[in-house]
A and B are shown apart, each in its own frame.
Chain A
Amino acid sequence: MRRLALAIALAVAAADLLPLGLVLKQAFTPERESFAWPPTWVPRTLTLENVRLLADAVDLRGGLALSVLVAALTVASTLAIALPAAWAAARRPGVDRGLDGALVVARVFPTIALAIPLAALSIRLGIYNSPFGTGLWLGHTLLALPLAFLVLRSAFRSVPLDLEDAARLDGASPAAAFWRVSLPLVRPSIAAASMLVFLVSWDEFGFALLLQVTNRPLPPLVYYLTAFGHPGLASAVAALMLVPALAVIVVVEPALRSGVFAGSGR
């Protein structure tokens, strides 16, 4: 049985590495090779010309800084807002139903339908095209909240109530019980949620395209290069975008392992 599981895992891993491999291959081979038939699986000529051409085509450094800033801020704000809400929802069915309904409403409109009114709103607030991506930060938080809420709520639901009650009996306030007892127990889920939120913000380009005109994060730059038929340049930027994304995954993954609390409630 275990061998079957391993085989499945390896097959899936191979399938998951394929898009990554293709991106890297296209980033470091001349663009002509990307259009060859039959397509090359192993690059015939390795080159850095795509990276060199990038400097002329897009503002890479500024884009990278903005992407990092907005993603980090989004993680912070999303967790700050979603954690208490998820805890409350896991504890009270009434709150739960209400929040589920509210989040359904938050997700029913396609992003394109929200983008123009949000742009108009951000202009009125004076944060349109901000060099710090303030409008983006607010928009991404909106997009990420439902995801973070659902992940965290599942986690809180799995934490037995009696742990907190025990703390309360010892005289702790509800907030302290939450902070000192429940919160540490859901650390793996917080890690998972942070990772997902980071990636949502990092990769998002619908709002980025509309709320930022001159100070653009990386995804609109990739989109521009792809739309104008430069798979090599686009892949080079994508390869750059992968570095922080993969770093986040690697850093956060160990926290996923410590999800087992043997005998914590008995």
Chain B
Amino acid sequence: MLCDAVPGRVAWLLAAVLAVGCGAQHASLTVAVALLPSELPVYRALVADFERQSGVRVVLVPQQYADIRRAVAAESAGGRGTLDLVELDVYALAPTAPYVCPIDASDVQPELAALFPDAVGAGTIDGLRFLPHRLGWEALVYDHAALGEPPADWAALLAIARAHPGKVAFKGALYEGLTCEVLPFVWAAGGSGDVLDDAGALAAFRFFAALAPYLNPESATFKEPTVAEAMARGEILLHLNWPFVMSLYESQGLSPEPIRSAPLPRGPRGRATVLGGGYLGIPCNAPHRDAALRLVRHVLSHDAQAELAKRLGWFSPRRDVAVGDGEPLAGFAAMRPDVRPRPARPDYPALSRRWQEAFRAVVFEHRDPDAVLHAAARAAAASP
């Protein structure tokens, strides 16, 4: 790190302190991870093991995924980096890929071999750039005290929405998170997810249209944190979200009573949910690449992953670590067999956007689902 001296008498004094500060920063890894405040102590303990074994100091920086992505982009624009290892969410992988350099598979063996292949596949963009850190998928989050049993199928979900108007919400803002709510319904109706107007898609969107009048109107701007907050305040009784909310509700004393998780309701052709989660990557201009690789191997080792699964309820990307059976995450755990990755195609961002716009047209502008989907499919076919 460049130790600048700023002109001025006081600054020379500060420079001396700075020199001491600079020295203390040698051989230290800077790792940006999206950890909740309640998860930090456990993760720190894990990292402390690594520090003892390797003699390398690790500085953990908890930040939101969006801010981590911004930091990586900013550092790459400048040509020199501070971050050695970053965690990004699955839908930021493609835009961040240019700033993260591929990892040699042999550098992360035998851990790599123990990971789920489809999870590893999602991190392979022009080479192995990202390794799954923790897996996630969406499940139903509901108020047990108010609703009793969770809806087992679409008809039950519609009945709940009718009985409690305005208390069911979707994450309906214009972003990737909306696609993560649309695809499970499309798949559960037998749709492929690739085709905008196949039979499954039409069935799913007709269901959305039936649900629309009873949805909470703030769904038009809800994202993960805001919908979670609305539920914490009791403004909604049911929504879809990722495992982190259960950890959040637990720390706020709202789970397991009254908020619990449940599998998504069954559609005409079964149940499905979208694969997501956090992925680790090493920025191209990371100052301590080798040490970062060693830390990655430590974090992905069996003992570390088992610890994270047990203490934090994380779903491990390792095949040999059992899914935790804690009460708040029971609904999520039950959906493990139903997890599917999103369509892997180069034009996925454009496809995703069409799904989002179609959902919003049907649910918030009350347009006819069939017409909207056919129009979207025609537009998709027409564009290059």
Contact = CB atoms under 8 A, between A and B. Distances in A.
Interface of A: 30-32, 35, 37, 53, 56-58, 115-117, 119-132, 134, 209-210, 213-214, 224-225, 227-230, 233
Given A56-B41, A210-B71, A229-B248, A35 B254 contact: yes
B74 A116 contact: yes
B62 A119 contact: no
Given A129-B82, A210-B70, A210-B71, A56 B4 contact: no
Interface stretch (B32-40, B188-196, B318-326): B32-40
Nearest to A30: B253
Given A56-B41, A213-B61, A214-B59, 9 more contacts: A30-B253, A35-B252, A56-B40, A119-B78, A126-B4, A130-B4, A213-B30, A224-B64, A227-B225
Nearest to A32: B253
B381 interface: no
Most chain A beta-carbon neighbours within 10 Å: one of B229, B234, B252, B254: B252
Contact of A134 (B6, B59, B252): B6
Nearest to A54: B37
Contacts of B64: 224, 227-228
B370 interface: no
Contact of A229 (B67, B78, B232): B232
A116 B82 contact: no
B128 interface: no
Interface string B65-80: 0010011011101111
Contact of A35 (B82, B83, B233, B251): B233
Contact of B37 (A30, A213, A228): A228
B78 A37 contact: no
Interface in B1-52: 1-2, 4, 6, 14, 18, 21, 30, 32, 36-37, 40-41
Contact of B82 (A32, A53, A128, A224): A128
B61 A225 contact: no
22 contacts: A32-B253, A56-B41, A116-B73, A120-B78, A120-B79, A123-B77, A126-B2, A128-B75, A131-B18, A132-B18, A209-B67, A209-B70, A210-B74, A213-B30, A213-B82, A213-B83, A224-B62, A224-B64, A229-B228, A229-B248, A229-B252, A230-B37
B225 A229 contact: yes
B63 interface: yes
A32 B14 CA distance: 44
Contacts of A214: 30, 59, 61, 82
A261 B272 CA distance: 76
A68 to B, nearest CB: 14
A132 B6 CA distance: 11
A210 B4 CA distance: 20
Interface string B340-375: 000000000000000000000000000000000000
Contacts of A224: 62-64
A31 B70 CA distance: 30
Interface centre among A132, A209, A213, A224 (most CB of B within 10 A): A213
Contacts of B1: 126
Contacts of A116: 70, 73-74, 77
Nearest to B11: A132
Nearest to B235: A37
Contacts of A57: 37, 40, 62
A35 B79 contact: no
Contacts of A123: 74-75, 77-80
B79 A124 contact: yes
Contacts of A225: 37
Contacts of A130: 4
A227 to B, nearest CB: 5
A115 B2 CA distance: 21
Given A32-B254, A213-B71, A233 B77 contact: no
A57 to B, nearest CB: 4
A114 B130 CA distance: 29
Nearest to B31: A214
Given A32-B253, A233-B37, A119 B32 contact: no
A115 B66 CA distance: 14
A119 B74 contact: yes
